Structure 1
Amino acid sequence: MKYLGLAYYNPEKFAAMAPADVQALVSQCPPLDEKMRATGKVLVAASLTEPKDWMTLRPRGGKTQISDGPYTESKEMVGGLFIIEADSREEALKLAAMHPAALLGEAGGWAVELIPMDFFLG
């Protein structure tokens, strides 16, 4: 089964961190990301741009309305995503627990949400 992992952060908490603390935190991510990819189970992994660069498309009156920014306002924002393929829920949790947002960044409000995915191919 494939799983979507969404890595969250809290922009306010992250902004309150000292720049040196942010750098120390972020510098730990590449080796952890590489360890996760080395399992051979990571199909996609990406960091997302700042929400100011996001766009939202929604149907309105039979047409597509495009607006700037994320669809919802919340305390937590998605900062990255990954897709893994795991043989069991337990394996998926073990793999997701390797992601930096599941190990580090408590001060920045980091977290990972793991979602089983269904695929519909035509």
Structure 2
Amino acid sequence: MKYLLIMNVNAEILEALPEAEQQAIGAGHQKFMDTIKASGEFHSTVALKAPAETAVVKVRNGVPAVTDGPFVESKEFLGGFYLIDVASRERAYELAAMIPDAGIEGLGVEIREVMFADGL
């Protein structure tokens, strides 16, 4: 079963962490990737740039318009995800708990089962 482990980021929370904790997050993600690659549960991962570099395309009356910034104003934004292939939902929970973001007050890791994906 494939699951998306989604990291919703709150920049204010992350920026308030001491520098050592911020660096530990990156190291923790590397350790997590090493773990799921070694177990064969890794499928792919994506980290996204900050919302300041985001654009939204809307088509109204057949005319596309591009605006800056995310569609919804929010303190939290999609920061990235891991796509994993595991034997059970419980294993997805176990792996999600290994992601550093899950241990930071105010953050967490959202787990969504993949219903359909072309080419997987």
Asked if the contact 2:28/2:99 (under 8 Å) is kept, the reply is no
| Uncovered stretches (5+) of structure 1, i.e. residues with no partner | none
Query: Is 1:33 the equivalent of 2:14?
Result: no
Structure 1 vs Structure 2: percent identity of aligned residues?
34
Aligned to 1:79: 79
Aligned to 2:22: 22
Correspondences of 1:41-120 after superposition (within 5 Å)? 41-102=41-102, 104=103, 106-107=104-105, 109-119=106-116
Kindly report structure 1 stretches of 4+ aligned residues shifted beyond 6 Å.
none
Distance across 2 between alignment mates of 1:120 and 1:44: 13
Q: Please tell me the residue identity of whatever aligns with 2:50.
A: E
| Uncovered stretches (5+) of structure 2, i.e. residues with no partner | none
Question: How many aligned positions are there?
Answer: 118
Distance across 2 between alignment mates of 1:64 and 1:94: 43
Question: Secondary structure at 1:98's aligned position in 2?
Answer: coil
Question: Secondary structure at 1:45's aligned position in 2?
Answer: strand
Distance across 2 between alignment mates of 1:66 and 1:101: 32
1:60-92 deviation digits (Å, cap 9, x = unpaired): 222333222222121222211111122322222
The root-mean-square deviation of aligned C-alpha atoms, in Å, is 2.2
TM-score calculated relative to the size of structure 2: 0.78
Distance 1:65 1:37, change over 3 A: farther
TM-score calculated relative to the size of structure 1: 0.77
